[in-house]
Structure 1
Amino acid sequence: MADDSSRKRKVRGRKIRSDRSQKEARNAKKKLARQSSNGQSNTNGSSPAPTGNGDSPMADPADVEPEPFVETDAVRSVRDRVTGWLEADQPVHLIGPTGCGKTALALSAAAQRGRPVVWLNGDDAVDTAALVGTHSGGERYKETDNFVGGVSKKTEIVRERWVDNPLSVAVREGATLVYNEFSRSDPAAHNVLLSVLEEGVLERPGKRGEDRSIEVHPEFRAILTSNDVEYAGVHQQQDALLDRFVGVHLDYYDDETEREIVREHVDLADEDIATVVDATRQLRDDLEVVVGTRAAITAAKGLTVFNGERNGDDEEADEGQFDEDLLTEVFTDVLAPKVVGEGIETIDELQTQIRKAV
């Protein structure tokens, strides 16, 4: 690893902070405008996962629109495909590599419908009850009968309390269900979806009485996201269910779109952003590990910080001139978790490959 003297970097110091402040102010105005139009506060902050108000998992569509969200021709084209299939009453399964923007696209498409949005995140712990609902404690109270003079009869009554979970709420209210990381859940949990998509009825196992079933609202729609099947931790879902989805396969966007995405997240000169994105795309071709757009954003953020630390906040210099050693070091830090546990030799090899690419 080269010493600090070989990694001098020219930065803009105060300009970077000034640009960031201006961008934060613009985003704050957008957020305030959404809150005013909704008549309520947005409690989601910067989280990509929308949450509802109170005990409801439903969220206002304006609150789930990703911020920032880049809309180039390539992005709009894919989103139009998704919203078109939803209009045709078809559930859409977004499939693609990690970091290619599936979740943001799903949320944006859901927001476009103008219907409430219900969020669900998949993992191995998700079972049927986590989808449809379960009993949650009970209500206990006593009734006293003094109908006959001098005789008091007390009866203790216990009623179980049922709580609907995201799928039940979505189908009943006609919301758009965004099921993130769908393939990480156990396929057995998804058997209840078959009757939803085929018969338009949701059966709630464990629920007793006449309201055991829910008739699916005609405006209910579902958008699911999954990594490709070769990723670790994903499950192959049953063919009977997959046959009822429309699969939209995503890949990383073109270089222009990736530059716009990075620009929306990080305040850097156009030349610097181009360098980061070009390096990311080269590494994507050269390395066996997955190098997504998220890696470019993270690397750009790191470069902004480390440049300022090494050169001082008052130093002004030309833009678009990245130091090779610093680029190599930052991208190594960003991608090293993908080879964790494989030994220091693997890290060294990764760094060598990165140095060649940048």
Structure 2
Amino acid sequence: MADDTSRKRKVRGKKITASREQKDGRKAKKQLARTASNAGERNGDSPLSDPETVVPEPFVETDAVRSLRDRINGWLEADQPVHLIGPTGCGKTALALSAAAERGRPVVWLNGDEAVDTAALVGSHAGGERYEENDQFVSGVSKKTEIVRERWVDNPLSVAVREGATLVYNEFSRSDPAAHNVLLSVFEEGVLERPGKHGDDRTIDVHPEFRAILTSNDVEYAGVHEQQDALLDRFIGVHVDYYDDETEREIVAAHVDLSEDEIATIVDTTRALRDDLEIVVGTRAAITAAKGLTVFDGNTENDEDGKFDDETLANVFTDVLAPKIAGENGGDIDDLRSQITETV
């Protein structure tokens, strides 16, 4: 009799243990389901950024800059995606980030290039997660079940539409147009479809605060793809050109410690070269030249008008602009130097 009681107690103990293991297994499954869709945030690589941290430093605000930014934010308030188009080095990216930050919503950054495809926008399966569940209902018999679940990781577009963030898609036109088919339903129907995702959450309803700012170089630039008309028809196109003389001086002054006259000489030279040369001479070139001149002109005497030594000025601008003709047919550094010297 005592033996029976002992056996029953023993069996009951195993059943309790097995029941606990089943419960732990079910709990693990639920935890896995909850965390799989948030894998990016769990790993610390969420693309969401605080709006206060995305504005480039330094960022210059003049009447011209504020007017353009207000125009962008006006269209965003009207729930229209804005496409900033203009020459390289004119400040499109900084302007886009400033406009995004002003909304006060989280910001998601995406940089376009040839490698961007649909998965890079919406997400993809990133390996699997597995665990073992042990069942032991009968003494001496152990049943092990291995459970594997594919782990889906959302990429920038999915995160932005779900969280109501402002998507800043830089160099938009450098990506293959086929990758942008998913944007059509986002802007037209308010739904993002995630190819490759299975189940009820294959689609995401676009958050009402989601907005998009895209930047592109003009179509004549190398590496730029012509995007499909069906998508471009849904954008507001804002052309961004080089800023006025005053704004360019303030931008350069924010990056270097030079006198007003010296900065004026650099900006005037930049704007003259922009008119005289067939290559693009952007505001970025003026900033780079100014940084170089703080070093290379440090031991020379400037005249009273704040102009640098002509030879040094020509050498610095030649170095700054030389990469733009490297590899081109007929690209000749001597010709470039001669043109710059003549302008100077």
Once the two structures are TM-superposed, the CA of residue 349 in structure 1 deviates from its matched residue by: 0.9
Residue of structure 1 in register with 2:97 after alignment: 107
CA distance in 1, matches of 2:304, 2:233: 56
Q: Distance in 1 between matches of 2:328 and 2:224?
A: 22
Cα offset, 1:144, TM superposition: 1.3
Q: 1:347 aligns with which of 323, 327, 333?
A: 333
From 124, 128, 137, give the equivalent of 1:138: 128
Residues 50-129 of structure 1: pairs in structure 2 closer than 5 A: 54-129=44-119
Bigger RCO of structures 1 and 2 (CA < 8 A, at least 6 apart): 1
Aligned letter for 2:106?
Answer: P
- Verify the 8 A CA contact 2:297 2:309 in the aligned structure 1: no
- 1:322 and 2:308 matched: yes
User: What is residue 356 of structure 1 aligned with on the other side?
Assistant: 342
Is 1:166 aligned to residue 152 of structure 2? no
For 2:249, the aligned partner's letter is R
Output the CA distance in 2 between the equivalents of 1:321 and 1:252.
Answer: 23
8 Å CA contact 1:175–1:221 kept in 2: the answer is: yes
What is the CA-CA distance between 1:54 and the residue it aligns to? 2.1
Aligned: 1:279 with 2:265: no
Contact 2:112 2:171 in 1 (8 A): yes
* Matched residue type, 2:283: T
User: Structure 1 stretches (4+) deviating beyond 6 angstroms?
Assistant: none
Give the Å deviation of 1:343: 7.5
The residue number in structure 1 matching 2:175 is 185
Distance 1:55 1:208, change over 3 A: same
Secondary structure at the residue paired with 1:195?
Answer: helix
Which whole-Å deviations, capped at 9, do the CAs of 1:181-214 have from their partners, x for residues lacking one?
Answer: 0000000000000011111111111111111111
Aligned runs of 1:238-317 on 2, under 5 Å? Answer: 238-308=228-298, 310-311=299-300
- Inter-CA distance 54–317: structure 2 relative to 1 (3 Å threshold): farther
AA paired with 1:171? V
Unaligned residue ranges in structure 1 (runs of 5+): 1-52
TM-score (norm 1): 0.82
Q: Which amino acid aligns with 1:160?
A: E
Q: Which amino acid aligns with 1:112?
A: E
- Structure 1 pair 153–160 and aligned structure 2 pair: CA distance change class (3 A): same
Partner of 1:44: none
SS at the partner of 1:225? strand
Once residues 48 and 307 of structure 2 are traced to their aligned partners in structure 1, the CA distance between those partners, rounded to angstroms, is 47
DSSP-derived class of the 1:159 partner: strand
Q: Which residue of 2 aligns with 1:336?
A: 322
Check the 8 A contact 1:269/1:319 in 2, yes or no: no
Which amino acid is the alignment partner of residue 86 of structure 2?
A: G
1-side partners of 2:282 and 2:336: how far apart?
16
Residue by residue over 1:97-142, the C-alpha shift from the partner in whole angstroms, topping out at 9 and shown as x without a partner, is 0000000000000000000000000000000000000111111111
Deviations 1:244-285 (A, max 9, x none): 000001110000100000000111100010010000000000
In 2, the alpha carbon distance for the partners of 1:319 and 1:145 equals 88
What's the offset of the Cα at 1:232?
Answer: 0.3
| Other structure's SS at 2:285 match | helix
1:151 CA drift (Å): 3.0
Instruction: Report the CA distance between 1:154 and its aligned residue.
Output: 1.3
1:199 equivalent to 2:189? Answer yes
- Find the counterpart in structure 2 of residue 49 from structure 1: none
Amino acid at match of 1:304: T
Deviations 1:272-325 (A, max 9, x none): 1001000000000000000000000011110001122x35xxx99856131111
Secondary structure, in 3 states, of the residue corresponding to 1:298?
A: helix
Q: Which has the larger radius of gyration?
A: 2
Call closer, same or farther: CA 1:250–1:345 in 2, change over 3 Å: closer
SS at match of 1:142: strand
Q: Which one-letter code corresponds to 2:179 in the other structure?
A: A
Q: Which residue of 1 aligns with 2:9?
A: none
- TM-score, normalising length from structure 2? 0.85
Identity of aligned residues (%): 80
Decide which moves more: 147-156 or 99-108: 147-156
Find the partner of 1:216 among 192, 206, 221.
Answer: 206
How far 1:341 moved relative to its partner? 2.4
Aligned Cα RMSD in Å? 1.8
Query: Quick one: distance in 1 between partners of 2:338 and 2:198?
Result: 63
Q: Whole-Å Cα distance in 2 between the matches of residues 343 and 167 of structure 1?
A: 39
Aligned-pair CA distance for 1:67: 1.1
Amino acid at match of 1:162: W
Aligned counterparts of 2:328 and 2:168: Cα–Cα separation in 1: 35
Structure 1 residue 152: deviation in Å? 2.1
Shift of residue 153, structure 1, vs aligned partner = 1.6
Counterpart for residue 225 of structure 1: 215
